[in-house]
A and B are shown apart, each in its own frame.
Chain A
Amino acid sequence: MKARILVVDDDEALAEMIGIVLRNDGFEPVFCADGGQALDIFRSSKPDLVLLDLMLPGTDGIEVCRQIRSESDVPIVMLTAKSDTSDVVRGLESGADDYVPKPFKPAELVARVRARLRPGDQKAPETLRIADVTIDVAGHAVSRGSERISLTPLEFDLLVALARKPWQVFTRELLLEQVWGYRHAADTRLVNVHVQRLRSKIERDPEAPEVVLTVRGVGYKAGS
């Protein structure tokens, strides 16, 4: 079955080009040119992934991202013409899983899309623990005691990656490779923002983390 991808972009030429590329790679694109309609089209088309331009007429990309995230865990990849730290971070914080800065190569875009669509398909029944948090890998569920913690797929992947090798310190580059699927170095701010988001959900006190620990000058590791 073809994965359906919602392309939210007001630039028709670009949307069409993205459509060509996606179709070429076996995806089924759905288009939306207006931020105000994005949520309706999202609901009606039920895409497997959203490609979202940050600069949109009507409702802006960040707001759309927030709306979609509030009702779905579907992966969101932002398309951004601005690579300023603040914009990227704002986009990621509003719930996007990844971003592709314009101008991008078709291969780059497809790789990002594939990486996000890669489902945890071959997941064996497995239960992991970090600190007082229990992770049911197959059931895609995280809980502390009887309390269930809701995570996006990306956050879940990040936590699982750390939990599988609690003895290892992960550099940001390694996490980018394992969780995001980047082969070459990319923007490590992705890791920073997502670790912060993950912490805000699973830590008792995000200021004093116990589950995801920072190793100064190197990266992150799982708490014991």
Chain B
Amino acid sequence: MVSAIKQVPEPQGQNPSEAPEGPGGSDMPRGTDGPHAQAAHPTPEHIAPEHTDALSGGLAGLPLRVRIWKRRALIVSLRVLRLVRTGLDRVFPGIRFLLRTLQRRWRRSLQFRTVLTTLLLSISSFAIVGAYLSNQIANNLFQERLTQAESETRYNVKQVQDTFDGAQVTDQSSVITLVYDTLNAVEGRGSVIQRRYVFEAMPEQTKPRNRWVESRASDQLTVSVIPKDLRAAVQDSGKDQFWASMQFPVGTEDRPGIAVGNKVTFNGTVYELYLIYDLDTAQQTLDEIQNVLWAGGAALIIMIGGIAWYVTRNVVSPVSHAAVVSEKLAAGQLQERMVVKGEDEVARLGASFNHMAASLQEQITQLATLSQMQQRFVSDVSHELRTPLTTVRMAAEVLYDARDDFDPINKRSAELLYNQVERFQSLLADLLEISRFDAGVAMLDAEATDIVQLVSHVMEGAAPVAEEYGSAMTLNAPEGSTVVEMDARRIDRILRNLVLNALEHGEGKPVNISVASNATAVAVTVRDHGIGMTPAEAARVFDRFWRADPARARTTGGSGLGLSIATEDTKLHSGWLQAWGNKGVGSNFRLTLPLKQGGTITKSPLQLEPADVALPGAVDRTVLVLGNPDTDGVPEGRQGTAAPRDTDVAPAGDVAPERAATGERS
């Protein structure tokens, strides 16, 4: 018998990956598929008819029931669907919020991104390593058990065969006793069953045979637990030994095991003898190892996550700290510094950052001090100049008043002195005003005031000058009052400046003043039809000390700061002051103010470019926008009668009449 045993190493040799799966998984029989796959697979065809028989009992009321059941199924499924949908509706916003939060964190936090990436990578690499380890261990455990099982089987089968061969067959009971005793001995001694057996007579034996013993098995096992492939292999072969992974019931549970099959002959009858080896202990060992792997893996991943978090925090936190500090610096908190610890790269970053901040602070402070000193100097000079200037002015005026008693030379001198002191005083006043703006001490003293009344007042004040130039002034304003929150003193100054400028450069042509308001803003335009401005001139008209024509400016006087001060006054009101000019056609200045302080202007109620200008001169037209660029163009709320159609070209040689006193105006 011994010689007849043939080992079948192929299953695990050819299919090493499949074999170890057995002990680990529940589908152990697959391990045997290898070389015996071609073995017969009797399909249980009888099952189907049995089923129809069982159903045929209630065939009569079937259509009705089917319909009822269909309806019920429909209702139930609809309800389930609705439940699921409402559930999802509740859950979805939460999930979306969570996803968005995660996405934002992913985008915004380098640390989060690094930690998450590290975790995902380590989880996947650990899964690969764990699977490989687990696989290897399972494989080895199985191989070991299999080798043991095969050698033990060979020995035991030989024992059984020897006992059977030497047995004296006399009567039934002794035969039964002999067989049972022999087989029970196979189970091994002691309380633990080392191996189980299934002893079964080969079917379809024609030879005279032993009818006393048909089959026998340990516990409650039957031959059905033996895989069919194995049985077929055993039955078909001669005296070879085969094995297969299988499952067998012990108590209420199924256990993995290895069945090793042989043939034994007793008294001329061929029996199949299968010895079943329990893999439970191996499985337990494997489970334990896997548990250890799981626990170790989880611990390792948590540790890796923690380490990644710690390391990135160490690197990232100085960077984010630097970001916070630089934001504060940018916001003007110049004393902000980074915390510097150690001597590493991060510390170097911090140190150089602090160095940069310090030098920045120093320079800014120096600049601020310088500019403050300069402004203070200008202011002090202006103040200190005022007292002697007052004396000079009074003296000049006394002389001027008495000029008729002087000879012509002294008289003219007194006049010149008087006029130039006036001019000097005006310049000084403007300088002081500008220095106040530069120092940032100009305060807005806003109060609700009727701007139409203010405009009328300004026009009244300018009436003598208008008469002097021979210009007519027209006012185009809405009925009633237009109350604006403004500093009347400053707005008065701006408008007076604009009106006097318009008269001065108007060459005796009419000056049109318009007032209009919309929901958020009020606008005043001052339009003249005089010499106008070129685009380049209009662009510079608000610059300090700028003059369109230096030669001309001498005679008309003014400090050259009037429009600069007007610009500053407008800025203080968060308004717009804009100029439009066209050489020979005239110019238009527009002041737009928010109705309430703190309000914003979306659109000026009046057009900057006058409607009475012929469009073809597009090349010559120029628009200078100060402050917020607006999207004007549509005359909103424009008052009934627009400025008269007066686009005459200024006649050559038409010189504005001389003015006696121009000192107050710029």
Contact = CB atoms under 8 A, between A and B. Distances in A.
Contact of A21 (B398, B425, B449, B481): B398
A188 B488 contact: yes
Interface in B361-392: 383, 386-392
Interface stretch (A10-18, A139-147, A199-207): A10-18
A17 B395 contact: yes
Contacts of B390: 14, 17, 102-104
Nearest to B388: A13
Given A84-B441, A106-B394, A187-B489, A217 B483 contact: yes
Contacts of B388: 11, 13-14
Contacts of B16: none
B387 A105 contact: no
Contacts of B398: 20-21, 24, 106
Contacts of A20: 394, 398
Contacts of B383: 81-82
A185 interface: yes
B547 interface: no
A2 interface: no
Interface in B413-447: 425, 428, 432, 436, 441, 443, 445
Contacts of B443: 85
Interface residues of B, number: 31
B450 A11 contact: no
Interface in A66-118: 81-85, 102-107, 109
A184 interface: yes
B665 interface: no
B450 A14 contact: no
B448 A13 contact: no
B445 A85 contact: yes
Contacts of A187: 489
B288 to A, nearest CB: 87
Nearest to B488: A188
B461 interface: yes
A129 to B, nearest CB: 29
B492 interface: yes
Interface string B500-526: 000000000000000000000000000
B263 interface: no
A185 B449 contact: no
Contact of B449 (A84, A102, A107, A217): A217
Contact of A103 (B393, B445, B483): B393
A185 B450 contact: no
Given A102-B386, A107-B397, A17 B391 contact: yes
Contacts of A216: 448, 483
A35 to B, nearest CB: 15
B437 to A, nearest CB: 12
A107 B396 CA distance: 12
B391 A13 contact: yes
A109 B393 CA distance: 12
Contacts of A11: 387-388, 391
B342 to A, nearest CB: 53
A102 B489 contact: no
A107 B425 CA distance: 16
A185 B461 contact: yes
Interface residues of A, number: 30
Contact of A14 (B391, B453, B492): B391
Interface centre among B391, B398, B448 (most CB of A within 10 A): B391
Given A103-B425, A185-B457, A188-B489, A81 B387 contact: yes
A57 B450 CA distance: 43
A37 B481 CA distance: 52
A36 B436 CA distance: 31
B389 A102 contact: yes
Nearest to B482: A217
B598 to A, nearest CB: 18
Contacts of A185: 457, 461, 492
Interface in B444-496: 445, 448-450, 453, 457, 461, 481, 483, 488-489, 492
A34 interface: no
B113 to A, nearest CB: 56
A20 B448 CA distance: 43
Contacts of A21: 394, 398
A21 B432 CA distance: 27
A124 interface: no
Contacts of A188: 488-489
Contacts of B461: 184-185
A208 interface: no
Contacts of A82: 383
A136 interface: no
A102 B457 contact: no
B386 A105 contact: no
A80 to B, nearest CB: 9
Interface string A143-171: 00000000000000000000000000001
A83 B435 CA distance: 13
B481 A217 contact: yes
A63 interface: no
A48 interface: no
Given A103-B386, A106-B397, A185-B492, A84 B436 contact: yes
A85 B446 CA distance: 13
A83 B397 CA distance: 22
Interface in A187-217: 187-189, 216-217
A102 B448 contact: no
Given A185-B492, A218-B450, A17 B394 contact: yes
Nearest to B445: A85
A107 B387 CA distance: 17
A184 B460 CA distance: 10
A142 B364 CA distance: 59
A60 interface: no
Contacts of B488: 188
Contacts of B397: 105-107
A66 to B, nearest CB: 23
A7 to B, nearest CB: 13
Report the 5 A-B pairs with minimum CB-CB distance, sorted nearest first: A103-B390, A81-B386, A102-B386, A217-B483, A217-B448
13 contacts: A14-B387, A17-B391, A17-B395, A18-B394, A20-B398, A81-B387, A102-B387, A102-B389, A103-B390, A103-B393, A107-B397, A188-B488, A217-B448
